Every structure is written in structure tokens, then in C-alpha cells.
Chains A and B, each alone.
Chain A
Amino acid sequence: MPKPEILDPQGKAVLGALPRLGFAGVADVRQGKRFELEFEGEVTPAVLAEVEQMAETLLSNPVIENYVVSVEQ
């Protein structure tokens, strides 16, 4: 997700479009990205640590974005 202090023009565009469709009451919209990574076998702490590294180096730009890693079975 873009960090809170970073302007998110895409989110602003969505926010502007919602009332035009009749959806009221939305105070703000932030647009981010979601990556789904599939692994063979169990996601061990070592694999998870590697995913954190992927998130830090390629999937996100830590200068402007925050990220969260979660595991789904």
C-alpha cells in the first residue's frame, strides 16, 4: 500500500467516481497491490523470511509503500 503520507492519485480517482455511481459516505480510498505467491510444500519460517525479502527488494518500494505478508493454506 502507498504510505499514508504519499499522495495516491489512483485512490483519489476511485473516490471521485464512487459518488457518481450513487455510493455515498466513503471518506477516503487508497489503492494498493496484492501479490499471490504459490509454493510447493509447507511455508516454513525460512520460506516466509525469503518472501519478506522479496517484498522488501522487488514487490514493494519501501520509500513509498508499506507491505504485509500473510499465509493462506
Chain B
Amino acid sequence: MKVGVVTFPGSLDDVDAQRAVRIGGNEAVALWHADADLRGVDAVVLPGGFSYGDYLRCGAISRFAPVMTEVVRAAGAGMPVLGICNGFQILCESHLLPGALIRNDHRKFVCRDQKLRIENNRTPWTSSYDQGAEITIVLKNGEGGFVADAETLARIEGEGQVVARYLEVNPNGSLNDIAGITNERGNVVGLMPHPEHAVEELTGSGVDGLGFFTSLAAATFA
């Protein structure tokens, strides 16, 4: 499968995400924020970083980048989209995902190996994991507190839209320990921690993140 990775001005983890896509057995295609062109990809990753310097609000300006018009259109047609960290923030600002991400409740940037539980393995990004699997991948964010109004929160919990939950420590004040969510259709996933940094034994905390990049083939051709 061809997986596009969008580079915005200020993206940091686009190259790591491309590498993770390849290690996961797919072809990585570099996409540019200013091109309204998805170059025929089958799925899209919005990587982490500080796109547009996090000016205004994290993800607020990226949302209006020409490539995002195409991403929003493709997501509406069912294309798998994964937003990691800043990518998650962009997906919320784009209204592809409910809720929003605000400054960590303790007001400090956090960088740690974070334990998570996979709460929904029915998305094209998580199908390689067992339901309830516990994984450890790196988390690094300053504005990772997931918030939504009570009604929205009840809906995403009730509909099984929580994809991953923090275990042992809630690192940023996210409501209900939510680390990642999906949309109603299940094709768009946002995740605050970074699976692309946990795909090789040589670096990082292990290979627990690899499943996010091997799930695609399994899900699409199943």
C-alpha cells in the first residue's frame, strides 16, 4: 500500500513516520502541505511536530493547508488517516475527530515511555493488536490534554471510539485517560503518543508501535 506522510512547515517526525511506514511493509510517499494532491496514496499519516510553529492554536493553521482539503475529502470517503501528536491536533482542528487538545494540566512538556492499552483494534491502524493489548511507546507533548464536552465524551466512550488509553500515569490531564480516538466510521485515528518512534530495537523503548504500521495491509486486504 502507498501511505502518504504529510510534511508541514515545522513537522518533526515526518521522516521517522516514513521509515515506520516502510518497516511496516508499505510504501512511504512524501506529501507536501502546499500541494492539493495526495499522489494516489491509499492512506495518510499526519506526523508530529510543531506545524506552523503551533501559532494561534496547535494545528489551527495546518488545517487550512491545501493538502488538508484533500485529506478531509479522502477521509470522508473512507481513506485511513492517522494523526500522531501534532497530527492528532490537526485532525481535531479539522473536525475529522471530536474534541480538542489543550495544554498539559501540569503545564510542563512531558517526554516519557508511556504505557497504553489498545481499547479498539477494529480500526485500520490498530487491527494488528489484540483487543486490550498493553504496549509501551514514547510520549512527548506540551499540549496533549484531550478534552470534550460531557455529551461528546459519553458518545465516544459509548460508541467504542476510544482507541488507546493511558495506563498507570495520566501524563497530560486527558479526560478519561484518553490517549487516542477514532471517528464514527473508524477510518480516522488520532493518537498523542508516538508509535513511529517504537518500531526498531536499536532505538526507542522497543517495537510496540510497529502494529500501527502493519495493521493497514491486514485491515485493507482482509
Mark A residues whose CB is within 8 Å of B: 2, 5-7, 9-10, 12-13, 58-59, 61, 63-64
Mark B residues whose CB is within 8 Å of A: 56-57, 60-61, 64, 92-93, 98-100, 102-107, 145, 147-149, 173
Q: Which residues of B contact A12 (CB under 8 A)?
A: 107
How many A-B pairs have beta carbons closer than 8 Å: the answer is: 39
- A6–B101 CA distance with the chains assembled, in angstroms: 11
Contact B100 A63 (CB under 8 A): yes
Contact B60 A5 (CB under 8 A): no
- A54–B152 CA distance with the chains assembled, in angstroms: 25
Query: In the complex, what's the smallest C-beta–C-beta distance from A32 to chain B, in angstroms?
Result: 12
Contact A64 B102 (CB under 8 A): yes
Contact A7 B107 (CB under 8 A): no
Query: In the complex, what's the smallest C-beta–C-beta distance from B41 to chain A, in angstroms?
Result: 27
Q: Which residues of A contact B106 (CB under 8 A)?
A: 9
| CB within 8 Å for A7 and B60 given contacts A63-B100, A64-B102 | no
| CB within 8 Å for A13 and B56 given contacts A7-B147, A63-B148, A64-B102 | no
Which single residue of chain A is at the shortest CB-CB distance from B145?
Answer: A7
Query: In the complex, what's the smallest C-beta–C-beta distance from B149 to chain A, in angstroms?
Result: 7
